[in-house]
């Protein structure tokens, strides 16, 4: 599954400079929402790429105000999920000595 997620994220990154229509922005937002659980559970190393995609779409003139709101919520969701994963990993490692 992580291979597919990685490929889809790479494809989205490749087409970002060519997005000029809000309908495409919407499809990418939908795709990111769908992929987010897999990214969180299987491919945490893709978090920076997902954050970059969110930032690029947020600054894209084709993005509507509603889409910007969706992207801000998605960005917060990514941050929260990865903060939670980092805290869980730190707790599992135990206190530093």
pLDDT tens-digit map of 62-85:
999 999 999 999 999 989 888 887
CA distances from residue 20 to 16, 67, 95 in whole angstroms, order as listed = 9, 14, 49
* Average confidence (pLDDT) over 82-97: 76
Residue from 8, 10, 15 nearest 38 by CA: 8
Domain ranges of the chain: 21-80
Contact 60, 28 (CB under 8 A): no
Task: Note the pLDDT of residue 82.
Answer: 80
DSSP 8-state assignment for residue 93: H
Token pair belonging to 92: 């599992």
Residue 50 · residue 31 · CB < 8 Å: no
State pTM to two decimals. 0.85
* pLDDT score, position 26: 97
State the average pLDDT over residues 4-27: 95
> Could you read off the pLDDT of 34-61 as tens digits, one per residue?
999 888 887 678 889 999 999 999 999 9
């Amino acid at each position: 599954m992580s291979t597919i997620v990685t490929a889809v994220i790479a494809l989205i990154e490749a087409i970002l400079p060519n997005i000029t229509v809000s309908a495409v922005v919407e499809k990418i937002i939908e795709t990111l929402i769908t992929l987010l659980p897999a990214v969180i559970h299987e491919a945490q190393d893709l978090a920076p790429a997902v954050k970059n995609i969110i930032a690029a779409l947020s600054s894209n003139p084709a993005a509507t105000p509603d889409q910007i709101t969706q992207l801000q919520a998605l960005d917060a969701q990514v941050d929260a999920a990865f903060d939670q994963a980092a805290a869980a990993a730190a707790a599992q490692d135990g206190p530093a000595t």
